[in-house]
Structure 1
Amino acid sequence: MEKSYTLKNYASAFISIFFLAFSLNAQSDFVEYNGKVIDGRTNKSLEAASLNVNGTNISTISNSEGKFTLKVPKNYSDSKVKISLLGYNTYVIPLSQLTNGNTVKLYAAVTELSAVSISTYKDAKSLIKKVFNDNNDNFKNESVYMTAFYRETIKRRNRNVSLTEAVVNILKEPNSSKSHDAIQLGKARKSTDYKRLDTVSVKLQGGPFSTIYLDIMKYPEYIFNEENINFYQFSFDAPSTLNNRNVYVVNFLPTNKDLKVNYVGKLFIDVETLALVSANYALDLSDVNRTKNLLVRKKPSDIEVYPLEAVYKVDYKAKDGQWYYSYSNLSLSFKVNKKRELFNKVYTLSSEMAVTDWEVNTEAKRIKNKDRLRPTVIITDAISGFSDPDFWGEYNLIEPDKSIESAINKIRKGIEKQEQRENAKTINGRP
């Protein structure tokens, strides 16, 4: 019988340690565009660049190698696509010119904010408090129905041992609502190589919720609340730019080491609307003795867990004067020490979710209780199958990087070999 032990990080990602003993109807009436986004000066690949089709909510992002795939219905083939990234000038190009294999160059923006603009706030903390207090002014007070792509990977050292991908529907409740967001699993696939997991296996508990709860404008309690925000020091950094708009950059770090959980990071705030544009932050793991087992809720008595890294990111997009959740990711690295074992084990668990289309929920769509994922779900246990290279059809996804692409190819080859063996058995007259 399997025994499970659950770990939790305080930005809503859950990890379980184990001892090992509604499909959507895809259509083909779309055009697929592929390319790469790079820095125009350094030729460095640009990760998480956003690509939006003008006049629609269709979007995708570039992967860690700058690569992207964008699928657009044919009736929008005359449209333009806007490519943007924090700190860079926005680039707009007709879809007709975005031929496959295009390399798109973005150039760093020069941002100048006058002293008067910054001195509007006596200090950075007063700005941050206003951002959270004015939350409902900048985010639409209606529910939104979203389609999103979710990917979850687990590595032991540098080797992929588990890969899960899914298209999900999200009923995103307004920030003013006390109702939590609902998620419905759509098309999904997975692969887990238990041989590489050796004697310990890790699973992410929460699946897409691990990323949706990083929406700190909807769930501020996971990082700042009215009480602990006073235990942080905020300071202005050099300003930045997004979509040709000026952005405040505010650094934060803890001043009270007695807090159970401390974060360090940056907040990016639109100068005009004072809406949060992006947040990049991490758990403060500088005190090894203090942070030992920090991510642990329950564990075997002979195991110690040392977090090595816990990094989080969330992005928002604006449309018609309102801001919406757009993308988030987390990366957790930790070392597992087991008594009487000579070598420790290092795991890296990553998950990310990108909204690829959305609409204001004017038709009052609901997700039935029986179809809702639970925040405690282990997504790898909820799905199966990983074969067809055209599996995603018209759905937009985050282009896999080389390591994930390699893992996918190995999975496909393994499936092909298995099918060949089964066919050989049938030919030989064996069941």
Structure 2
Amino acid sequence: GENYLNQDAIMTAFYRETIKKRNKNVSLAEAIVNIYKEPYTSGKKDNIELYKSRKNTDYSKLDTVALKLQGGPFNPLYVDLIKYPEYVFADDEINQYIFSFSPSTTINGRPVFVVNFKQSPNIEQPLYYGKLFIDSQTWALVSAIYNLNVENKTLAANLFVKKKPKDVFVYPTNAAYRIDYREKNGKWYYGYSNVQLTFKINRKKKWFNSVYSLSSEMAITDWRFNTQGEVLKGKNRLRPSIIISDEISGFSDPEFWGPYNVIEPEKSIESAINKIKRQLKRTENSSQP
């Protein structure tokens, strides 16, 4: 833990969420959020405040089954393996994994060790498989790319599906995750993460199934230490159960987004951030104590 930020911090982040049916966008949402990040040594969970948001939804493309993503920016936030190891490497599950080394590589010019992990073949419940990239000098986790084992459709579905009609079977065919840390003054901190999910929906008495893909990603654009001990008031805290596409309305602040008033999901998140750099600067200045 000593390699990571161990002070309270307030981070500004850009969040994007897309839901597609086959290749057509049915729900797009983007938001700027403030993350009240707890120290990595603390057991307290981070809090998120929605600062600006906008969406573009077309549920007419969704038949009668609307697939919605619960959790909003908490989905990529909980991919922070150092802060939330229990979601992948819970204490009672760590011995159910097999670890091995791949050849070393470099990330941003720094040599890193590559550690592979997968669940033991005798374990039935869905666990994860992927790669951990560990800085060879500091032993800090620099990046992780991993997937959930979705071979057992029923068990995998139980992990994701909260509510559905009786005549519908929904199961994941892919669940992929990525986290990247950044380094400043010898300390590593959460920088970027994404969650990519694909689901098949089968309905009784229907010949064809529907395929939906959900993408949820977040990138930190700026951060500062929370030296004043600022606390996010309860009424401003996002609930981890939030459904962003239901909560926010259209372009809730068109003046803020300015000429950049079209959500372009095919462009990278960096490209979206570059287009609103000026607005983000204003955000950061106004949030200074």
SS in structure 1 of the partner of residue 2 of structure 2: helix
Greater relative contact order, per chain length (Cα 8 Å cut-off, separation 6+): 2
Aligned partner of 1:304 in structure 2 is: 169
Shift of 1:233: 0.9
Aligned partner of 1:349 in structure 2 is: 214
- The correspondence for 2:55, drawn from 175, 190, 196, is 190
Indicate yes or no: 2:24 matched with 1:164.
no
- The correspondence for 1:263, drawn from 128, 153, 174, is 128
Q: Is the 8 Å Cα contact of residues 154 and 349 (structure 1) preserved in structure 2?
A: yes
Cα deviation 1:265-291 (Å, max 9, x = unaligned)? 000000111000001000112345654
Indicate yes or no: 2:223 matched with 1:358.
yes
- The correspondence for 2:95, drawn from 225, 230, 250, is 230
Shift of 1:292: 5.3
Shift of 1:361: 1.1
Shift of 1:383: 1.0
1:39-188 aligned at under 5 Å gives the runs 136-188=1-53
Indicate yes or no: 2:193 matched with 1:328.
yes
1:283-298 aligned at under 5 Å gives the runs 283-288=148-153, 291=156, 293-298=158-163
Shift of 1:360: 1.1
> Structure 1: which 5+ residue stretches go unaligned?
1-135, 405-431
Indicate yes or no: 2:80 matched with 1:215.
yes
The count of corresponding residues between Structure 1 and Structure 2 is 267
Question: Counterpart of 2:195 in structure 1: which amino acid?
Answer: L
Question: Counterpart of 2:129 in structure 1: which amino acid?
Answer: V
Aligned partner of 1:272 in structure 2 is: 137
Question: Counterpart of 1:161 in structure 2: which amino acid?
Answer: V
SS in structure 1 of the partner of residue 42 of structure 2: coil
Shift of 1:200: 0.9
Q: Is the 8 Å Cα contact of residues 277 and 315 (structure 1) preserved in structure 2?
A: yes
Q: If the length of structure 1 is used for normalisation, what is the TM-score? A: 0.58
CA distance in 2, matches of 1:365, 1:387: 26
CA distance in 1, matches of 2:93, 2:195: 22
CA distance in 2, matches of 1:192, 1:372: 24
CA distance in 2, matches of 1:364, 1:403: 34
Question: Counterpart of 1:172 in structure 2: which amino acid?
Answer: K
Cα deviation 1:18-52 (Å, max 9, x = unaligned)? xxxxxxxxxxxxxxxxxxxxxxxxxxxxxxxxxxx
Q: Is the 8 Å Cα contact of residues 231 and 256 (structure 1) preserved in structure 2?
A: no
Q: Is the 8 Å Cα contact of residues 294 and 307 (structure 1) preserved in structure 2?
A: no
Percent identical residues: 57
Question: Counterpart of 1:212 in structure 2: which amino acid?
Answer: L
Cα deviation 1:155-188 (Å, max 9, x = unaligned)? 0000000000000000000121121101000110
Shift of 1:294: 4.8
CA distance in 2, matches of 1:292, 1:150: 25
Quick check: which has more Rg, 1 or 2?
A: 1
SS in structure 1 of the partner of residue 61 of structure 2: helix
Q: Is the 8 Å Cα contact of residues 149 and 353 (structure 1) preserved in structure 2?
A: yes
In 2 relative to 1, CA 274–151 (structure 1 residues): closer, same or farther, beyond 3 Å? same
In 2 relative to 1, CA 356–393 (structure 1 residues): closer, same or farther, beyond 3 Å? farther
Shift of 1:139: 1.1
Shift of 1:380: 1.2
In 2 relative to 1, CA 307–176 (structure 1 residues): closer, same or farther, beyond 3 Å? same
In 2 relative to 1, CA 403–248 (structure 1 residues): closer, same or farther, beyond 3 Å? closer
Q: Is the 8 Å Cα contact of residues 173 and 199 (structure 2) preserved in structure 1?
A: yes
Question: Counterpart of 1:155 in structure 2: which amino acid?
Answer: K
Q: If the length of structure 2 is used for normalisation, what is the TM-score? A: 0.86
Question: Counterpart of 2:245 in structure 1: which amino acid?
Answer: T
Question: Counterpart of 2:220 in structure 1: which amino acid?
Answer: V
In 2 relative to 1, CA 145–294 (structure 1 residues): closer, same or farther, beyond 3 Å? closer
SS in structure 2 of the partner of residue 200 of structure 1: coil
Indicate yes or no: 2:219 matched with 1:380.
no
CA distance in 2, matches of 1:174, 1:403: 29
Q: Is the 8 Å Cα contact of residues 306 and 334 (structure 1) preserved in structure 2?
A: yes
Shift of 1:141: 1.6
Shift of 1:344: 1.3
SS in structure 2 of the partner of residue 238 of structure 1: strand
Shift of 1:358: 0.3
SS in structure 1 of the partner of residue 138 of structure 2: coil
Shift of 1:190: 0.5
CA distance in 2, matches of 1:394, 1:212: 29
